[in-house]
Amino acid sequence: YRDLHTFELQAPTRLIEWARGSRVCVAGYGQSDGNEILQLIPPPTLLTKETQGLCPERDFKVECGGFSERPVYSLKYVPDTSLLVTSGPPDSSLQVWQMSAEDSDVIKSVSPIATENGTGQSWSKITTISARAPWVLHGSRLDRVQITEVESRKNVYTAASGGSEELSSLAFLDCNTLLLCCATGRLCLADVRQPQSLVEAVSAPSAPCSEHWCMGTRHGAQGLEPSSQPVARLSSKGLLTLTDLRKTSEFLALAKARVPSPGSGAEFLCVSWAPALEGCLAISGFDGTVHVYDTQSWDSSGREAEPIFVHKGHAFGGAGGSGDPPLVTVHTWHLQKPRTLLSAASDGSLHVWDWVQPCGKC
C-alpha cells in the first residue's frame, strides 16, 4: 500500500457514489426502517494529489443526510439538478430526493416515481444522464426498461421486450445508446431514438449451473467512441469476459479470477474499470477482498489470472471475532487519483486505499 485509511460507518452500505465537488454518497440497506442516506465530504488528504503527512483533517464529514423508509440498494445523482434517485425492495418503484438549500442539511424525500409492479418483480436497477433533459433509466427486468424524465415524471422511452430475465445493471453508452446486462449474462443494446430497436449484443454464456452476471462499463475518455470501450462481465463463479461491442461474435479476453468456492452468492458482485489506468479493472463481492487486475496481458483462453493487487483490509478489520467474516459490498475508483479505491463491507467498514505497483506498467 502507499496509503490506507479505514473508517467505520454507523450502518453498512452497498453503494458508493461520487457527487459534484468530490462528495461521496453512501446509504444503509438493512432490513429495518430508518436507513440513512449520507453525503460525505472526504478528508482533504484524499482530495489532493500528493499524499499528505500527518494532516490534522483526516476524517470524513457528513455534509447532509436523509432518512429512507426502505433499504437503499442503488442511488444515482441526477446531473444538472439538485435531485437524486434511489431504489430498493420491496418493489420496483423509484424514490426521488431533493438536496436542501444552504441553510439545512437534510435530504428531503419528494414524491416517488411509480412503476408497474407486476408479480415477481425485484428492485429496479437505475442510472441517470442529463442530455436532452435529466433522465433516469430504470428497470428490474428486461421487459420493464423505461426512461423517465425526472422533473416532469414523463415517460420518454420504453424498451421493446426482449425477454423477462432479471437485469443486473444498465448503462448509457452515450446519450442515445443503452446497454442492458441481464443476470444471465446476456447483453442487449437499444437506441433511444428507435423504441423497437432492442438487440441482443452478446448472448448469455452457456454454463451447466446458473451463474449470476454483472457488468462494468468504462466511462470513456473524451473524444473516444463509447462503444469502442470494452465491456467487462463478471460471474458469480469468478469468470471474467471482455467484449468489444463493435465485434461481439468473439470475446476480446476471457479469464478466471481466483475466488473462494462455494461462493457467497451474487448479491454484491461488482466489477469496474479504472478511470485513469489503461486496462485495469477491479472486482469484489466474493469475500472480504477486492482484486485489481491488469487485463492487457489477457487472452481468450480462460486461464486463471493473477491479480496485480489484493486489498485484504476488510477481512482483518473486524472488531469482534463473532459472526460471519465481512463481505465486501461495493468498491469504486477515485476519479482522479489513478491507484486509489474506496471499498465498503457488510460490517460497516469503509476503506480508502492506494497501492504501489511493484513492477510493470500499470
Q: How does 323-353 read in b/e, with b if 16+ C-beta sit within 10 Å? A: eebbbbbbbbbbeebbbbbbbbbbbbbbbbb
Nearer to another protein, 36 or 287 (CB): 36
Locate 22 and state its grid cell.
Answer: 468530490
The dihedral region occupied by 107, where left means phi > 0, alpha psi between -120 and 50, and beta the remainder, is: beta
Nearer to another protein, 65 or 112 (CB): 65
d(CA 76, CA 125): 10
Shortest approach of another protein to residue 320 CB, angstroms? 14
d(CA 35, CA 134): 26
Shortest approach of another protein to residue 62 CB, angstroms? 4
Nearer to another protein, 183 or 344 (CB): 344
Interacting residues toward another protein by CB under 8 A: 4-10, 34, 36, 40, 43, 53-56, 58-67, 100, 102-106, 350
Cβ(174)–Cβ(189) below 8 Å: no
Shortest approach of another protein to residue 227 CB, angstroms? 39
Nearer to another protein, 243 or 340 (CB): 340
Cβ(110)–Cβ(83) below 8 Å: yes
Shortest approach of another protein to residue 344 CB, angstroms? 12
Residue 203 phi, psi dihedral angles, 5° rounding: -80, 165
Shortest approach of another protein to residue 138 CB, angstroms? 27
Cβ(237)–Cβ(211) below 8 Å: yes
Locate 173 and state its grid cell.
Answer: 453508452
Shortest approach of another protein to residue 326 CB, angstroms? 14
Cβ(336)–Cβ(276) below 8 Å: yes
Shortest approach of another protein to residue 339 CB, angstroms? 18
Nearer to another protein, 39 or 93 (CB): 39
- Tell me how far the alpha carbon of residue 239 is from its chain's centroid: 18
Nearer to another protein, 99 or 201 (CB): 99
Q: What is the DSSP string of 185-251?
A: S-EEEEETTEEEEEEEEEPPPP-SS---EEEE---PPTTS-GGGSPEEEEETTSEEEEEBTTBTTS-
Shortest approach of another protein to residue 236 CB, angstroms? 31
Shortest approach of another protein to residue 290 CB, angstroms? 18
Closest CA to 264 of 302, 238, 282, 240: 238
Nearer to another protein, 5 or 212 (CB): 5
Nearer to another protein, 57 or 304 (CB): 57
Locate 239 and state its grid cell.
Answer: 469468470
Nearer to another protein, 202 or 344 (CB): 344
